[in-house]
Structure 1
Amino acid sequence: MQNTRLERTLTLAPLVLFGISFMALGTVFSTYGIAAQLTKGMVPAAYILALVAMLFTALSYGKMAQAYPISGSAYTYAQRSISPSIGFMVGWSILVDYLFIPMVNYLVFASFMNAAFPAVPEYVWILLMLVIVTGINVRGIKLAARVNLLINLCAILFIVTFCFFSIRHIVTNQSVFHLFSMSPFFQQGAGFSTIIAGASLLCFSFLGFDSITTFAEEVKNPEKTLPRAVLIVTMVGGLIFILVSYLSQIVYPDYASFPDPDSAAFVVIQNVGGDFLATFAIVMVTTGTFGSAMVSHASVGRLLYSMGRDGVLPRKMFGYLHPIWKTPIVNLLLVSLIGLSALFMTLGMAASLINFGAFLAFSCVNICVIMHFYIRKKDRAGWSLFRTLLFPIMGTVMDLYLLSSLDSYSLLLGIIWFCIGFIYLLVLTKCFRQKPPQMEIDAA
């Protein structure tokens, strides 16, 4: 029996940076044009709705991380609070998110670098990024944390620079009073349904606050650190998204005139900062996608490790830790192998599956809080009633509503993936005649 364990080295600051890096703050720019047209210029309003929905879910993740400070995230919470079978299906659903998010980052990185260096084929950039990300994660969480710090500093520096240039542009070309406008939150003739549609798209930007719970066994004092980190990541990300989209709308209010929604943010960026800021944006997007790929790659490796340690997946392969680096090296290499499919997969195909699994897992985590704290622990007195029942109910309703608002293509692919997992569960349990393997809690 292998005695090697994940090593507790992470504190609050690097954990928050991991979550922010996974979120890839640059997504506020890459999705801005599509969101602006979808919401008829009310992107900040859609971000506020998305932030509210994510905060309810973030509170639930924090509560469950206190109860079960071990690797596995939503998979572990559902497995222990509801049933092993439900836990397996939640883990299977969220697994597709973690598997495909690195792939999305490889594709985005390759497309930007190919635009800057047309002579170098995209597959070269995909392979280069994949090798570097794998190497950093295999060597351990400490090295990944150091690299991640530099990446986040670059992204934050760009966002501060963009906000400065935008405010200067507004004050110079309009007036200081234009800094305060209701147009990004209210457009005549646009209904609330447009904001809801935008929120269901923009929740993709928040994916990352949940990923840090997969590092539970590498965090010092996880019962206190994880809940704080989850809320900080969600709030910081949401406020940045709202501020950037607000300034973008004020700077360039004619959202319908963008020739290509995918590159709309670069029109805004060049409008306020010229070639200097546009070049800086390319650097920020490429480093941001690298950071997101690195963290998501590490997260899925640890989720597979949890499932392997339980015996849900073959234990010898997926439950193995490197004796020196103390990382799930086999899982990390397997994720890299799957990442090679970025060589022939399109960005749309990879992204279409992500939100389905996320909303399903988010809903289940909210239900886990009710099952574990309200029903089992009978934690119902005073403020606890809100934390253990009312807030999780609101989070569940909002997550399920956003899930139902996804486009039909995303829903179809998500349902197919879910059905494949259900068939595997039937095989694993011999048609439910026996329970799936269950994790032995050990938070030592």
Structure 2
Amino acid sequence: MISPPNTTAQQTDTQSTSSGPPLKTPSLVLFGIAYMAPAVVLATFGVISVASNGSSASSYLLATTAMLLTALSYATLSRRFQLSGSAYSYVRRVLGPNTGFLAGWVLILDYLFLPMVIWLIGASFLSAQFPGVPMWVWIVIQAIVVSAVNVFGIKLADRLNTILLTFVTLVLIVFVALSLQQWANENTSVSVLSPFWNSDSSILAITAGAAIASYSFLGFDAITTLTGEAANPKHSIPRAIVITTLTMGAVFTIVSFAAELVASTTIITDQDSAAFDIGSRVGGNFLASAIVAALVVGGFASAIAAQAGSSRLLLAMGRDGVLLRNFFGYVHPVRKTPVLNIALTGLVGLTATQMTLTSSTSFINFGAFTAFTVVNVCAIVLAWRSEGSGQRRWGKIFVASVASIVTLFLLFNLDGNALLFGSSWLVIGTIYLAVLTRGFRKEPPELALDEASS
């Protein structure tokens, strides 16, 4: 977890306060799955189906492959460095402080925009359920409630993880079963292989869908934030990263496969809430309501965690002097929470009222794919420097190289607005770094991040 430097009081504000036994691999996997929010596949299905020309299952398979290769790089680095700073810490150790700073800077995109995307997803489905209420009202309500929870410091997401996962799993199982039953009963000409390849499919379309689908995997790297609380982190963290990625890849592919089989014969009113229309058709109002509940409640818990993480990242950067200390480094004297940062992330989230799900997820994917690519490069460099056997060494270099190529390919297949916005953000970060280091003549301040004992 992200924590500010120096005093014990400061550390208490942002460190994990878990007093229970060390987390073992199953607990770490459950954390990763909960953070990734399995129901997100229902939220993004319509967008991915349109982008992939009805081949969303293939898009998820490609995204799973890409994320699994990158997950192996994270596993390698987490085994070598038992640090909870994820990409920032790994890149800083392997490629140097300046590159590490820029990796952290790019990740700010994820932290700032993730709550916005979660609120946009929830609002899309709530609007479908309650068409008389404007979407912007739901976005504002979510932003206010989640921000209030974080100001009071309630760890609602942690408390509800098991309940939410059970509920969401049941909803997904019912959705898949009823969709398959609907397809079988209709006896249509829709081929069982059409979700993977059909007459409208193309490699470019599937790749474009995979670029969006990869958003669903964001969070597997968050497992590294529990390094300090994990039992035997050198082994449990890497295992949990790989298991979580494989598990979620299978879930996303199966759900999108079942949805795609009946999507072509379903009237879709809005691609952002396509799963709602499919659920209404195959399971009536009850399943449609269950889908909305799974997305909203699960998204609520995820948004709490995402906003808490973003506000504490900004707090750490403020206290280290990377950002304006008086604003970003401020902690409320009573609540002991970074209220100004929480308010800022809440305001950023309100921009969802002017954005679509496609564009907002693309912004997040720019930061994620850039960070993933640099982590893959770190894995290549680390393997090159190693003194292991030649065959094993070159095998690691090959896997990380392929992962780098795939994540770069996905990065450049994002829409033009995301590339322009992300590149501009990176340029701003580079200029800011130049000023901060007086023309790169000194090292940038290092963010204080909890480290597990090596």
Query: What is the aligned counterpart of 2:243 among 232, 247, 254?
Result: 232
Match of 1:418 in 2: 426
Matches within 5 A, 1:40-439: 40-117=53-130, 125-126=138-139, 128-130=141-143, 132-134=145-147, 144-174=157-187, 181-188=192-199, 190-254=201-265, 258-304=268-314, 307=317, 312-313=322-323, 329-330=337-338, 334-345=341-352, 346-348=354-356, 350-372=360-382, 374-387=383-396, 389-438=397-446
Letter in 1 for 2:284: G
- What's the C-alpha RMSD, in Å, of the aligned pairs? 3.2
Offset of residue 104 of structure 1: 1.7
Letter in 2 for 1:243: I
Match of 2:3 in 1: none
Distance 1:294 1:280, change over 3 A: same
Match of 1:20 in 2: 33
1:41 counterpart SS class = coil
Per-residue CA shift, 1:362-408, capped at 9, x if unaligned? 00001111222x13333444445323x11110100000011111111
Distance 1:393 1:223, change over 3 A: same
CA distance in structure 1 between the partners assigned to 2:52 and 2:73 by the alignment: 28
Match of 1:2 in 2: 7
CA distance in structure 1 between the partners assigned to 2:151 and 2:29 by the alignment: 21
CA distance in structure 2 between the partners assigned to 1:268 and 1:114 by the alignment: 16
Offset of residue 124 of structure 1: 6.0
Offset of residue 198 of structure 1: 1.5
1:144 counterpart SS class = helix
CA distance in structure 2 between the partners assigned to 1:168 and 1:145 by the alignment: 35
2:376 counterpart SS class = helix
Work out whether residues 129 and 289 of structure 2, in 8 Å CA contact, stay in contact via their aligned partners in 1.
no
User: What percentage of aligned pairs have identical amino acids?
Assistant: 39
Work out whether residues 87 and 371 of structure 2, in 8 Å CA contact, stay in contact via their aligned partners in 1.
yes
CA distance in structure 1 between the partners assigned to 2:145 and 2:223 by the alignment: 21
Work out whether residues 8 and 219 of structure 1, in 8 Å CA contact, stay in contact via their aligned partners in 2.
no
Distance 1:252 1:122, change over 3 A: closer
Distance 1:119 1:269, change over 3 A: closer
Work out whether residues 137 and 144 of structure 1, in 8 Å CA contact, stay in contact via their aligned partners in 2.
no
Offset of residue 302 of structure 1: 4.8
CA distance in structure 1 between the partners assigned to 2:155 and 2:149 by the alignment: 9
Structure 2 unaligned blocks of 5 or more: 1-5
CA distance in structure 1 between the partners assigned to 2:201 and 2:132 by the alignment: 45
Please identify, of 98-107 and 222-231, the stretch whose mean Cα deviation from structure 2 is larger: 222-231
Offset of residue 323 of structure 1: 11
Work out whether residues 48 and 56 of structure 2, in 8 Å CA contact, stay in contact via their aligned partners in 1.
yes
CA distance in structure 2 between the partners assigned to 1:141 and 1:230 by the alignment: 27
CA distance in structure 1 between the partners assigned to 2:138 and 2:269 by the alignment: 27
Letter in 2 for 1:339: G
Offset of residue 426 of structure 1: 0.7
Q: Aligned pair 1:443/2:448, yes or no?
A: no
Work out whether residues 73 and 400 of structure 2, in 8 Å CA contact, stay in contact via their aligned partners in 1.
yes
Distance 1:98 1:53, change over 3 A: same
Offset of residue 200 of structure 1: 1.4
Work out whether residues 134 and 333 of structure 1, in 8 Å CA contact, stay in contact via their aligned partners in 2.
no
Per-residue CA shift, 1:314-365, capped at 9, x if unaligned? 679867999999xx832x7513432223334423364342111111000000
Offset of residue 421 of structure 1: 0.8
Work out whether residues 384 and 393 of structure 2, in 8 Å CA contact, stay in contact via their aligned partners in 1.
no
Please identify, of 392-401 and 1-10, the stretch whose mean Cα deviation from structure 2 is larger: 1-10
Distance 1:314 1:403, change over 3 A: same
Work out whether residues 14 and 145 of structure 1, in 8 Å CA contact, stay in contact via their aligned partners in 2.
no
CA distance in structure 2 between the partners assigned to 1:322 and 1:214 by the alignment: 24
Work out whether residues 53 and 200 of structure 2, in 8 Å CA contact, stay in contact via their aligned partners in 1.
no
Work out whether residues 79 and 87 of structure 1, in 8 Å CA contact, stay in contact via their aligned partners in 2.
yes
Work out whether residues 38 and 194 of structure 1, in 8 Å CA contact, stay in contact via their aligned partners in 2.
yes
Work out whether residues 128 and 276 of structure 2, in 8 Å CA contact, stay in contact via their aligned partners in 1.
no
> How many residue pairs are counted as aligned between the two chains?
436
Distance 1:232 1:140, change over 3 A: farther
CA distance in structure 1 between the partners assigned to 2:193 and 2:133 by the alignment: 45
CA distance in structure 2 between the partners assigned to 1:28 and 1:316 by the alignment: 40
Offset of residue 225 of structure 1: 2.4
